[in-house]
Amino acid sequence: MVDSPREIVGAVLKYMGASYNTIDMSEVAGGKEAVQQNLASLVKQVRLFDSRHYLKAFGVGDVWVAVGWSNDVIPAAKRLSNIAVIVPKSGASLWADCWAIPAASRIATDQIGGRVRGPSPVVHQWIEFCLQAERFKDDVVPGASPNTLGSSVKVCEELSRGRPKLETNLIAGVPPSDILAKCELIEPLPEKALSEYRWLINSVQKPESSLADRLRNRISSLAHSLLCKVQSKDA
């Protein structure tokens, strides 16, 4: 499973009927203690928490199921014929790439003749080109185009030709509408909430990790304790 507090704790919150974007754990049924107990139960079932090598453990047969991001698992499923991608019926987390035009693109500079250069006039055409469904079908982008959300998309037969018919509930990278309605877009959280997510992760015994990971977790735990003390003094 990916080593991300938002994904790990988020999966527990989703299991408990709460939101991936929960800010205050006291609002969850049973409070923080219930979240911690369910998190500990999840950790016991996970062989590895690693955002880089979790699919390697999956590929060599150390684990039967991997929980990860679509930009990792979809390409892996297309390379390996005995793998299928499934989105839970209860829904999953959603995230999106954000593109921006730097403000500095309108600053005059002597290096380009002193004139102000704005964004390219074809930038919108480029965005439309990149959002075409064909870009995603051809593995240019391992995910789903926002244009496919809410529209009926047919499965491309070329992608499954000559491969075992493993069951999957993805259509052009998008889950069915009933499952998609239960998915949540990951939203930014306040630093206090993120600190609580990290504290929950550090409060349970995770599978054996490297020395660097243990030191990082220890530092994070100490920082959370100091933050709580400072907040209690301010109160």
Q: Does residue 49 lie within any of the structural domains?
A: yes
Q: Does residue 199 lie within any of the structural domains?
A: yes
Which one has a higher pLDDT value, 70 or 104? Answer: 70
> 124-152: b or e for each residue (b if 16 or more CB lie within 10 Å)?
eeeeeeeeebeebbeeebbbbbeebeeee
Q: What is the 3-state secondary structure (H, E, C) of the chain?
A: CCCCHHHHHHHHHHHCCCCCCCCCHHHCCCHHHHHHHHHHHHHHCCCCCCCCCHHHHHHCCCCCCCCCCHHHHHHHHHHCCCCCCCCCCCCCEECCCCCCCCHHHHCCCHHHCCCCCCCCCCHHHHHHHHCCHHHHHCCCCCCCCHHHCCCCCCCCHHHHCCCCCCCCCCECCECCHHHHCCCEECCCCCHHHHHHHHHHHHHCCCCCCCHHHHHHHHHHHHHHHHHHHHHHHHC
Label residue 164 by pLDDT band (50, 70, 90): very low
Q: Does residue 105 lie within any of the structural domains?
A: no
The pLDDT of residue 122 is above 50 = yes
Q: Does residue 116 lie within any of the structural domains?
A: no
Residue 116: the pLDDT is 56
Q: Does residue 124 lie within any of the structural domains?
A: no
Smallest Cα–Cα separation from 195: which of 25, 13, 16? 25
Label residue 149 by pLDDT band (50, 70, 90): low
Q: pLDDT tens for residues 174-195?
A: 788 888 889 998 999 999 999 9
Q: pLDDT tens for residues 203-216?
A: 886 665 554 555 55
Which one has a higher pLDDT value, 155 or 226? Answer: 226
The pLDDT of residue 39 is above 90 = yes
* Number of domains making up the chain: 1
Which one has a higher pLDDT value, 77 or 232? Answer: 77
Residue 156: the pLDDT is 44
Q: What is the mean pLDDT of residues 137-161?
A: 52
Indicate yes or no: pTM above 0.85: no
Residue 9: the pLDDT is 95
> Strand 184-185 and strand 93-94: pairing?
parallel
In order of 1, 6, 13, 67, the CA distances from 206 in angstroms are 12, 16, 18, 16
* CB contact at 8 A, 186 and 18: no
| CATH code, domain with 149 | 3.40.190
Q: Does residue 109 lie within any of the structural domains?
A: no
Residue 213: the pLDDT is 54
Q: Does residue 123 lie within any of the structural domains?
A: no
Q: What is the mean pLDDT of residues 52-61?
A: 78
Residue 211: the pLDDT is 46
Label residue 142 by pLDDT band (50, 70, 90): low
The pLDDT of residue 119 is above 80 = no
Q: Does residue 13 lie within any of the structural domains?
A: yes
Q: What is the mean pLDDT of residues 135-158?
A: 54
Residue 157: the pLDDT is 47
The pLDDT of residue 130 is above 80 = no
The pLDDT of residue 118 is above 60 = yes
Residue 78: the pLDDT is 78
Q: Which domain holds residue 157?
A: 5-99+129-234
